[in-house]
Structure 1
Amino acid sequence: MERRTIGAGALAVGAVGLGCMPMSWAYSTSRQRGDESLRAVHRALDLGATLLDTADMYGPFTNELLLGRVLKERRSDAFVSTKVGLLVGEQHIVANGRPGYVRRACDASLRRLQTDVIDLYQLHRADPEVPVEETWGAMAELVRAGKVRALGFCAVGARGGRRSGNRLYDATIRQLQRIQQVFPVSAVEAELSVWSPEALDTLLPWCETRGIGFLAAMPLGNGFLTGTLTPGQGFERDDLRARHPRFTAEMMAANQPIVVGLRRVAARHGDHVTPAQVALAWTLAQGRHVVPVPGTKHERWVVENAAAARLRLSPQDLAEVARLPGAQGSWE
């Protein structure tokens, strides 16, 4: 698989990564199978999809524990990205950016992941009660201590359309400018896909001009852009799509033209090419430091996603995708 560099060229990863969250969090927990997830991770590494993206809150903790079983055998094959800064309670998820907590959380993640060093340690959310510079300073200490190789920042996904997304990412950029004065930012993770392109306006260009890697979260639109979901299908209560406005029967039907357009582009590249691969290839085409991180717990989708790294969209293809209608349904 093609390799891409992030963080001023210091870190090299496979062009397509693996989002591990669905293995133990947010998507249909009744269908989660540890053995199947382990096979998916091993297959990703075999195919060169080296970036494994997780977080301590996924589960919570069970996602890192699962990855630790793979890393114990194949640490040299993997690039490990995990996150700190969110705590899962019985009713709410809350931010915690206190330096002491960050240090303890890092040690706990290292134990669960069965590794001596985390390749990319990301601040999951800034704590409004703690100056972000203090949190970032504590994370920088972890780099100097040899527990972490590089630092990343997770930007909240834009949910209210392009104009709202710009306002949100303007605030994110201001935070990034502040923490850059403390310690270099190697990567930013934010939502980017055919149906959520908001980061293209301000956030991605800001990262690109500084050589900062961009990890494209949810590049398949929570599964919608795969074309495997049908309007009106049910989701389990613990599946985040059960509460997502774009996954009501009405909105899924309204957004079908997006999938139809992706299928049309895929057909020009052969019967074996899928809408999901076109969506990932589009994301890869947005910048030389962009690494899509599609989430899955199934080996078959890992194989399909990895193959998208070989798909090259023509200028005609990219123009056609650009003309697709914007997604309907928002969080506002």
Structure 2
Amino acid sequence: MERRTIGSAALAVGAVGLGCMPMSWAYSTSQQRGDRSLRTVHAALDAGVQLLDTADMYGPFTNELLVGRAVKGRRSEAFLSTKCGLLVGDQHIVANGRPGYVRRACDASLRRLQTDVIDLYQLHRADPEVPVEETWGAMADLVTAGKVRALGLSAVGARAGRRPGARMHDGTIRQLERVQQVFPVSAVQAELSVWSPEALEDLLPWCAARGVGILAAMPLGNGYLTGTLKPGQGFEPDDPRARHPRFTAEMMAANQPVVAGLRRIAEQHGATPAQVALAWVLRQGRHVVPVPGTKREQWAVENAGAAAVALTDGDLAEIDGLPRARGSWY
């Protein structure tokens, strides 16, 4: 698989990563199986995937434990990316950016991942009660201590609280400019897909100009762009798609032309709609690494194969001409 370089730390990884969250948290929990997830990680590694993305809050903690088991004996093949900054309570998820917490969280993640160093340590969300520079300074100390190789920032919640008229990632970019004064940002994790391309407007150009990598979260639109989900199908009560405006029967039906367009292009390349959707993300820049999440071996291997799908300029133009996704995102 083609390798790409992430950020100023010049960390090389396979062009397609693996999001591990669905293996033990949030999506279709009745289908989560530890042994199957281990096989999925191993299949991804065998296919050339290196970047395994997790977080301490997933579970909480169970996802890191699973990833730690999966890479035991194969650590040199894996690029471990995890996150800190969010605490899961009985009713709420709250941010914690206090330096003391950051240090303890890192040590705990190292133990769960069964490793001496985390390749990319990301701030999952800034704490509104703590200046982000203080949090970032504590994370930078972890690099100095040799516990972390590089730092990243998550912008997955960029839509929340956006002011009218503001661009999607204005707040994220302001945050990035602040922490860059403390220690270099190697990567930003942000949503990017055919049906959620807003990061192209501002965040991707900002990162490209500064040598910052992009980890493209939800590159398959929470599974919709795979073409395997049918309008009106049910989701388990604990699956966030059960309450998602774009996953109502009406909106899933309305957005079928997007999947149909991906399928037309896929047939021309002997590929799948999911692979075309990921190949589109890969064409957005050499600093972009899509991180599709899955719990199944089949999809992990299929997703890795997207790195070999060479979209033409005509394909890109056809995708750009597809109808914009309908339905509010949040």
Return the letter of the residue paired with 1:129.
E
Partner of 2:190: 190
Matched, 1:246 2:246: yes
In structure 2, the CA distance between the partners of 1:164 and 1:243, relative to structure 1 (3 Å rule), is farther
Q: CA deviation at 1:328?
A: 1.0
CA–CA distance in structure 2, aligned partners of residues 265 and 254 of structure 1: 20
Give the secondary structure class of the aligned counterpart of 1:4: strand
Q: Deviations over 1:189-226 (max 9, x none)?
A: 00000000010000011001111110000000000000
Give the secondary structure class of the aligned counterpart of 2:176: helix
In structure 2, the CA distance between the partners of 1:163 and 1:322, relative to structure 1 (3 Å rule), is farther
Unaligned ranges ≥5, structure 1? none
Q: Deviations over 1:293-322 (max 9, x none)?
A: 000010000110000000010000000000
Partner of 1:216: 216
What is the TM-score of this pair, normalised by structure 1?
A: 0.97
CA–CA distance in structure 2, aligned partners of residues 168 and 283 of structure 1: 18
Q: CA deviation at 1:331?
A: 3.9
Partner of 1:293: 291
Matched, 1:133 2:129: no
Partner of 1:305: 303
Return the letter of the residue paired with 1:13.
V
Determine if contact 1:158/1:164 at 8 Å carries over to the other structure: no
Q: CA deviation at 1:26?
A: 1.1
Partner of 2:325: 327
Give the secondary structure class of the aligned counterpart of 1:167: coil
Q: CA deviation at 1:234?
A: 0.4
Q: Deviations over 1:218-264 (max 9, x none)?
A: 00000000000000000001101011110000100011010001011
Determine if contact 1:137/1:182 at 8 Å carries over to the other structure: yes
Partner of 2:11: 11
Determine if contact 2:9/2:150 at 8 Å carries over to the other structure: no
Return the letter of the residue paired with 1:267.
E
Alignment of 1:45-60 (within 5 A): 45-60=45-60
Unaligned ranges ≥5, structure 2? none
Return the letter of the residue paired with 1:77.
E
What is the TM-score of this pair, normalised by structure 2?
A: 0.97
Q: Deviations over 1:29-54 (max 9, x none)?
A: 01101111000101111111000000
Determine if contact 2:168/2:199 at 8 Å carries over to the other structure: no
RMSD of aligned Cα (Å): 1.4
Return the letter of the residue paired with 2:303.
N
CA–CA distance in structure 2, aligned partners of residues 105 and 317 of structure 1: 44
Determine if contact 1:166/1:201 at 8 Å carries over to the other structure: no
In structure 2, the CA distance between the partners of 1:164 and 1:14, relative to structure 1 (3 Å rule), is farther
| Ranges of 4+ aligned residues in structure 1 off by more than 2 Å | 156-160, 162-168
Determine if contact 2:168/2:198 at 8 Å carries over to the other structure: no
Determine if contact 1:24/1:59 at 8 Å carries over to the other structure: yes
In structure 2, the CA distance between the partners of 1:275 and 1:157, relative to structure 1 (3 Å rule), is farther
CA–CA distance in structure 1, aligned partners of residues 178 and 113 of structure 2: 30
Matched, 1:37 2:37: yes
Return the letter of the residue paired with 1:281.
A
Return the letter of the residue paired with 1:262.
L
Return the letter of the residue paired with 1:195.
W
CA–CA distance in structure 1, aligned partners of residues 76 and 190 of structure 2: 26
In structure 2, the CA distance between the partners of 1:98 and 1:147, relative to structure 1 (3 Å rule), is same
Give the secondary structure class of the aligned counterpart of 1:177: helix
Partner of 1:284: 282
